[in-house]
Amino acid sequence: MNVLDSLTELNIESLSKEEKRELLKQIRDEIDSIDDSLAELLNYRAAKYEILSSLKQQLDMNNYSPQREREIIERIGDSNKSDLSSKDLMQIFERIIDVSRAIQKKYTTRIR
């Protein structure tokens, strides 16, 4: 069990200042690890864009597919089961899709 999972079981008020500082450090370390994992996954996702762009071009498809983007956003919103609101999560993915579209456009320009 990690620190974040066990927070609900703790009575934070009863902790000493030193224990609170240690808890804060542990939580920040966990968040840093999560951030590293997110960055790794986003880079893995981005590594797919070059071949994706090439395939779309060979199939005479546009990089911009509003229907596909809506499907992704809706799937993410529908599958959300966290404290993060579906609206917030969907906005994060909208930004990821915006960036992915821009990167795909760069690859398309290079392929031509």
Domain ranges of the chain: 1-47, 48-112
Half-sphere exposure of 60 (CA within 13 A, CB side): 0
93 within 8 A of 72, measured Cβ to Cβ:
yes
Q: pLDDT-derived band of residue 7, with 50, 70 and 90 as boundaries? A: low
pTM of the model: 0.74
Percent of the chain exceeding pLDDT 70 equals 88
* Mean pLDDT value across residues 15-26: 92
pLDDT at 109 over 80: no
Half-sphere exposure of 100 (CA within 13 A, CB side): 23
pLDDT at 112 over 60: no
Which of 5-19, 21-35, 74-88 comes out lowest in average pLDDT? 5-19
Q: Structure tokens of 76?
A: 């993410």
Which residues have C-beta within 8 Å of that of residue 54, sequence separation ≥ 6?
107, 111
pLDDT of 21 reads: 95
pLDDT of 76 reads: 87
What DSSP designation does 14 have? G
Place of tokens 């864009």: 49
pLDDT of 42 reads: 95
pLDDT of 108 reads: 75
CA-CA-CA-CA torsion sign (58, 61, 64, 68)? negative
